[in-house]
Amino acid sequence: MLKSKTFVKKTRSGGVMKVVREHYLRDDIWCGSEVCTECKQDSAVLQRDACIESSLCPYPHYLVPDTNIVLRQIDVLEDPVIRNVIILQTVLQEVRHRSAPVYKRLKDIIHEQGRHFYTFTNEHHRETFIEREPGESANDRNDRAIRVAVKWYSQHLKTAESGSDGLKVVLLTNDQGNKLKAEENGLVVYKFDEYIKSLIGNPELVDCLALSNDDKNEVTSSKVLFPEHLPLSKVQAGIKSGSFLQGTFRASRDNYLEATVFVQGEGEDSTEVLIQGLQNLNRAVHQDVVAVQLLPKNQWVAPSSVVLQDDGAAKDDNVDEDEEEKTARRATGKVVGIIKRNWRPFCGMLNVSQIKESTRHLFTPADRHIPRIRIETRQASTLAGQRIMVAIDGWPKDSRYPNGHFVRSLGGAGEKDTEEEVLLLEHDVPHQAFSQAVLSFLPKMPWSITPEDMAQRQDLRHLTVCSVDPPGCTDIDDALHYRELENGKLEVGVHIADVSHFIRPGNALDKEAANRGTTVYLCGKRIDMVPELLSSNLCSLRSNVERFAFSCIWELNHKAEILKTRFTKSVINSKASLTYAEAQMRIDDASKNDDITKSLRGLNKLAKILKRKRIENGALTLSSLEVRFHMDSETHDPIDLQTKELVETNSMVEEFMLLANISVAQKIYDEFPESALLRKHPAPPPSNYDILIKAAKSKNVMIHTDSAKALADSLDVAKVDGFQYFNTLLRILATRCMMQAVYFCSGMDSDFHHYGLASPIYTHFTSPIRRYADIIVHRLLAVAIGADSTYPDLMDKHKQSTLCNNLNYRHKMSQYAQRASVAFHTQLFFKTRGILNEEGFVLFVRKNAIIVLIPKFGLEGTVFFDSKDKASPNLVFDEEIPGVSVPVPEAEPQAKKQKLDR
Amino acid sequence: MATVQVSEAEKVYILHGIRDDLRVDGRGCEDYRHMEVETDVVSNTDGSAKVTLGHTAVLVGIKAEIGKPRPMIANQGYLEFFVDCSANATPEFEGRGGEELGTELSNTLYKVFNNQHSLDLKSLCISPGEHCWVLYVDVLLLQCDGNLYDAISVAIKAALFNTKIPKVHISSDEEGGKEIELSDDPYDCMRLDVENVPCIVTLCKIGHRHVVDATLQEKACSVASLIISVTHKGIITCSRKVGRGSLDPESICEMIEAGKRVGKALHPPLMKLLQQEESLGNKRQKVGFLG
């Protein structure tokens, strides 16, 4: 049967269009119940004895939630207790339309076999399809559709012989009107919280209930704390007329009363608007898209340099404005409306309320950008000391904190697994095990190289190829060779694991890798981008096995100038996999004269020349502190810690990788000027260097930042006698001034320059096992040399550019996760150490705190001057001179201690 | 124009019959052939109607779009006509064969319908000088068996009656910028008042007499015909002579009188039919093109 759906919509040009869609109704849609004998379904999803013990419904029953229940209470629905649920198509579509994340979660539940969730396509069922009636709103129609479907179900299941055992269908809705109408129709209907509270076996589910708008919060003081948000239509009109600005809200890490809103302007000119004070922040949460209104110029303020943690009451008002220099004032505004909330479940800890019987508690998120959240739970005593996940439900205007609900517990705080889970979740790192669909695209084991493979590839097995990597590395994606040619020239080859041979475009494996974007290295743990079979075995260029490689082979003269470049797919057989230290030892050990050692020496010599040339061109040598932990082999607890040491061989490998990356970048750009995936590093705006210049000035050193070259040179000469670490310290600071390097698609941008490497063009080619960008570059290069065929998405610059955005995001998050992991292990390390005395350096000075760096541990921390129990020492604050001498409180919460500065 | 070959003897036969007020198919001089009207036949238009008159079949679809009012009449919307003489109707229309006829028809339709007397064009105005509804009236000839004008005009009237224009309202912000807002209820729409929409009556001069609703054979016997558009009150809004021959003033007067009479009688049954059909609402079984 054919029906048509008609609706009018506005076109982009402002016109009005009538759209008509055909809609087919069928009579072969089955109900999915085991009870039913009429429907000719192959396997029924809904069980015969659908028993959830409930005091309201003692009989077996199926649940039908309406859209709002699914949207708001998905956390409860995810609980394995809830089974035998019918999800109507109407609901599914509406959920999909309203919230993509909830939709995905719902789909996941539906796919779970043991949950018995059944999707009933009521919109296409002949008897449950309804047409919208005149004067009926879309929502009313959907509610009616749901009621009609429930009615149909209850009648359908009644007629099916089993009338006596009383299987019923229960509609769950929080909508009063809908409920009344359903009752009129003789349906069994309950409010969601009624139903959940009636569950006999599972009282803990009540905690997961999201607060609905209508149950007014008694605890909140009746006084209105925040101004009302403007309705969306007004906000949009305001943005159009320019009286409001739209931007992403970024809460300050250090001060809960301060935030910036990043307003994306046309092209390059984007501005930041400062927001100060609770009232002006107006319930915006980190990462929300908000509308801000600028305050009149005389109310503009400077960003405060106070570190403020939200301790609850009292300091609700604006930070006292004392002698602020007029110059530091910045555009200041207030939040007038929220355009899009960006709430996700947050990990953190519960602050158990002082009142024993209270069920309302505050929750402190791990992410300091996020305000505390008030939740209601009866399991406070069990949850105390655990890491839990909480979702925000809303933030009423008369409440100091947003209201939320408990989602799940991750485990005891301080336990390694729990903390690792927390930091993966907080950084949005996909870390589930690979799905069956993904694994199905792996090559079958035992895997071997076939003659066909050999025919398509150059046989380089005879070359003395070796790899140099950090100790314990199992995903070896690069290897090198070096030999002298008969014509007196030198040949150097960089061989990269041929991952794109195994990961074919568009399949589940490829999609998963593209989504993960990068492998994340945590301390003692690796979250792989591709399944282990590939990363540690088939792709990994291990020694003495035959592996596929993508080779980049140069002919160089003795001055390390490139004479010829050649790319080819090949088969190699690595002769040795060395660690940096081993390679260094071989080079230094004059008694060794085997092929491998000779190659290493040759490579090392060339690398030095290359490095010198690069530095002459203005490449920056920056520094950041990286620490390594020595792990206890059994408990996996850190037992010692050291900063990473660099040996010559590190930079040897690095030089050739850079060279390969640049050569490849040039090649793919020449071949595909519109769709090459490249990496750029924009020059930072001059203002970024302020902290660096200021810091250097304190020791009377001048830093020139006009160009990369000038910066590199002035960093080289910036030395203070008797303060050796000063130079490293400056380099650390310089690193922080830099912009993020990003992937981009050459067709979408015109500025390709890589500032840090001083290269006009750059890409990533050398680590396809752990970076997805490299896989794309491999594919592009393979097409360029005719070794592989292309596919449409590869040449689509818009698709490329979306991919780049994801890769950049994943890359950034993985770095944060890595840092967080190091920080956590540092904490673990200090847990057992007690008080230590170490040398530290003051990085920044704030009004009431200093930020201190301890190089030995690569640790950075905030030291407050005014501890709670002690009066603050008398200080003179002068931002110009980082390096005040003050006595520092002896006991720091983290049981580590600093001796200060010189 | 679609033509048929008629021999001299046949012509004489037709001519004599008409002289005696008895036409080949048994009708009187002022009788129409059997007419069928159905509205709402094309779902993706805003209004549509299909009319068959004898073997003549036309389909009219109306699309409402937002446009800019004509500069001289800022407070009115307007209609645009396009007549598609498809080769389905007759092989002569193949290629660009129907173009000339199409233009001629649409010019006439424009004169007849696009004025304030026929249709309240002011109701099509959204905001004076800026936005108005433009009704694109597309006429498709499905089969030609004479008397296209009358069939088309009835179909247009029916389609206009059927037209549902989505209601919009203009919201303006403080800066004076205007924004068109659309209701999300597809039933929330505006209807047109078609009371004054005229119907066209074509009178064919055959011999000394004239007939309405001439078939192709009859048309072949005629040298000239008069087109007049008549409202339900019997007011003539437009008249035109087509054909190569000439008409003497006396017979023009006669023809106009006859046209008025016929035209006036045409409206009430048509309106009655349309309202009847409308009242059936969604439950009506559509006949469409296969019925």
Q: What is the pLDDT of residues A390-414, one digit of tens each?
A: 888 888 877 788 888 888 888 887 7
| A830 within some domain | no
Half-sphere exposure of A360 (CA within 13 A, CB side): 12
Inspect the interface and report whether the beta carbons of B187 and A132 lie closer than 8 Å.
Answer: yes
Residue B52 has pLDDT above 90, yes or no: yes
CB A279 within 8 A of CB A226: yes
B-chain residue closest to A243, CA distance: B175
| A550 within some domain | yes
Reference A654, options A689, A721, A604; nearest CA is A604
Rounded to 5°, the CA angle B250-B252-B254 comes to: 75
What pLDDT score does A881 carry? 38
By CB neighbour count within 10 A (0-12 exposed, 13-18 middle, 19+ buried), where does B265 fall? middle
Choose among B166, B173, B187: nearest Cβ to A16. B166
Choose among B45, B66, B175: nearest Cβ to A16. B66
3-state secondary structure A639-659: EEEEECCCCHHHHHHHHHHHH
Q: Is the peptide bond before A446 cis (omega within 30 degrees of 0)?
A: yes
- CA torsion A300-A306-A309-A312 (nearest 10°) is -60
Q: Give the confidence band of A219 by pLDDT, cuts at 50, 70, 90.
A: very low
| A826 within some domain | no
Reference A726, options A690, A695, A691; nearest CA is A695
A-chain residue closest to B67, CA distance: A15
Minimal C-alpha gap between A429 and chain B (Å): 40
Inspect the interface and report whether the beta carbons of A18 and B182 lie closer than 8 Å.
Answer: no
Output DSSP code: residue A235.
Answer: H
- Say whether residue B177 is in contact with chain A using an 8 A CB cutoff: yes
What pLDDT score does A306 carry? 65
Inspect the interface and report whether the beta carbons of B180 and A16 lie closer than 8 Å.
Answer: yes
Inspect the interface and report whether the beta carbons of A9 and B182 lie closer than 8 Å.
Answer: yes
| Residue A704 token pair | 């020139």
Give the tens place of pLDDT for each residue, A573-597. 988 888 888 888 888 888 888 888 8
* A132 contacts on B by Cβ (under 8 Å): 185-187
Tell me the mean pLDDT in the region A860-884. Answer: 51
Give the tens place of pLDDT for each residue, A307-364. 666 654 444 444 444 444 445 677 888 888 888 888 888 888 888 776 666 777 888 8
Which residues touch A634 (CB under 8 Å, ≥6 apart)?
none
Inspect the interface and report whether the beta carbons of A16 and B168 lie closer than 8 Å.
Answer: yes
What pLDDT score does A636 carry? 62
Rounded to 5°, the CA angle A428-A430-A433 comes to: 155
* B170 contacts on A by Cβ (under 8 Å): none
End residue of a domain, out of A816, A832, A867: A816
| A821 within some domain | no
Reference A308, options A337, A283, A277; nearest CA is A277
- Say whether residue B176 is in contact with chain A using an 8 A CB cutoff: no
Choose among A15, A132, A237: nearest Cβ to B186. A132
Q: Are residues A103 and A139 in the same domain?
A: yes
What pLDDT score does B201 carry? 94
CATH number for the domain including A288? 2.40.50.690
Distance CA A197, CA A460 (A): 70
What pLDDT score does A14 carry? 67
Reference B274, options B33, B36, B30; nearest CA is B36
Minimal C-alpha gap between B202 and chain A (Å): 35
Choose among B64, B66, B177: nearest Cβ to A240. B177
B-chain residue closest to A140, CA distance: B185
Inspect the interface and report whether the beta carbons of A241 and B174 lie closer than 8 Å.
Answer: yes
Minimal C-alpha gap between A4 and chain B (Å): 8
Inspect the interface and report whether the beta carbons of B46 and A137 lie closer than 8 Å.
Answer: no
Give the domain extent around A723. Answer: 686-737
Tally C-beta pairs within 8 A across A and B: 56
What pLDDT score does A159 carry? 66
Distance of CA A421 to the CA centre of its chain: 13
Q: Are residues A540 and A419 in the same domain?
A: no
Q: In whole angstroms, how far apart are CA A760 and each of A360, A711, B280?
A: 58, 18, 74
Count of domains observed in chain A = 6
| Residue B286 token pair | 């559509």
Q: Are residues A106 and A22 in the same domain?
A: yes
Give the tens place of pLDDT for each residue, A752-777. 888 888 888 999 998 899 899 999 99
- The answer for B 47-106 residues in CB contact with A (under 8 A) is 63-66
Choose among A4, A135, A233: nearest Cβ to B43. A4
* B182 contacts on A by Cβ (under 8 Å): 8-10, 16
Lowest mean pLDDT among A444-453, A659-668, B149-158: A444-453
| A825 within some domain | no
Handedness of CA A283, A287, A289, A293 (dihedral sign): positive
Interface test with B, best of A1, A9, A16, A140 (most B CBs within 10 A): A16
Choose among B66, B174, B187: nearest Cβ to A14. B66
What pLDDT score does A893 carry? 34
Q: Are residues A444 and A495 in the same domain?
A: yes
B-chain residue closest to A238, CA distance: B173
CATH number for the domain including A179? 3.40.50.1010
* B177 contacts on A by Cβ (under 8 Å): 240-241
What is the identity of the amino acid at A361? H
pLDDT greater at residue A90 or residue A863: A90
- The answer for B 229-288 residues in CB contact with A (under 8 A) is 282
* A237 contacts on B by Cβ (under 8 Å): 171, 173, 179
Could you give the ipTM of this predicted complex? 0.71
pTM exceeding 0.80: no
Q: Are residues A731 and A760 in the same domain?
A: no
Distance CA A494, CA A657 (A): 7
Distance CA A36, CA A48 (A): 9
Interface test with B, best of A2, A6, A8 (most B CBs within 10 A): A8
* A15 contacts on B by Cβ (under 8 Å): 65-66
* B63 contacts on A by Cβ (under 8 Å): 18
Identify the H or E element spanning A64.
Answer: strand A61-65
Give the tens place of pLDDT for each residue, A732-744. 778 878 888 889 8
A-chain residue closest to B178, CA distance: A237
Listed as own residue / partner, the contacts of A456-459 with beta carbons closer than 8 Å and 24 or more positions apart are: A456/A569, A456/A787, A457/A548, A457/A568, A457/A569, A457/A570, A457/A571, A458/A551, A458/A568, A458/A569, A458/A570, A458/A571, A459/A570, A459/A571
Provide the pairing of β-strand A245-251 with A258-263: antiparallel
Q: Are residues A592 and A719 in the same domain?
A: no
End residue of a domain, out of A340, A367, A396: A340
Which domains are assigned to chain B? 8-280 (3.30.230.70)
What pLDDT score does A637 carry? 64
| A499 within some domain | yes
What pLDDT score does A888 carry? 37
Inspect the interface and report whether the beta carbons of B180 and A7 lie closer than 8 Å.
Answer: no
Minimal C-alpha gap between A150 and chain B (Å): 25
What is the identity of the amino acid at A72? R
Q: Are residues A729 and A753 in the same domain?
A: no
| A420 within some domain | yes
Distance CA B62, CA A761 (A): 58
Tokens 């980049």 — which residue?
A: A552
CATH number for the domain including A403? 2.40.50.700
Distance CA A730, CA A709 (A): 16
| A431 within some domain | no
Q: Give the confidence band of B261 by pLDDT, cuts at 50, 70, 90.
A: very high
What pLDDT score does B4 carry? 79
Q: Are residues A387 and A441 in the same domain?
A: no
Reference A253, options A874, A855, A846; nearest CA is A846
Q: Are residues A888 and A754 in the same domain?
A: no
Inspect the interface and report whether the beta carbons of A237 and B179 lie closer than 8 Å.
Answer: yes
Q: Are residues A860 and A803 in the same domain?
A: no
Beta bridge partners of A334: A293
- Is B180 in a helix, a strand, or coil? strand
Minimal C-alpha gap between A625 and chain B (Å): 54
Half-sphere exposure of A444 (CA within 13 A, CB side): 0
Q: Give the confidence band of B49 by pLDDT, cuts at 50, 70, 90.
A: very high
Q: What φ, ψ does residue A484 adopt, rounded to 5°?
A: -90, 135
CB B210 within 8 A of CB B204: yes
Inspect the interface and report whether the beta carbons of B65 and A16 lie closer than 8 Å.
Answer: yes
Tokens 């919208």 — which residue?
A: A132
End residue of a domain, out of A399, A426, A453: A426
Residue A720 has pLDDT above 80, yes or no: no
Q: Are residues A791 and A661 in the same domain?
A: yes
Residue A547 has pLDDT above 80, yes or no: yes
Inspect the interface and report whether the beta carbons of A131 and B173 lie closer than 8 Å.
Answer: no
Minimal C-alpha gap between B133 and chain A (Å): 10
Q: Are residues A792 and A747 in the same domain?
A: yes
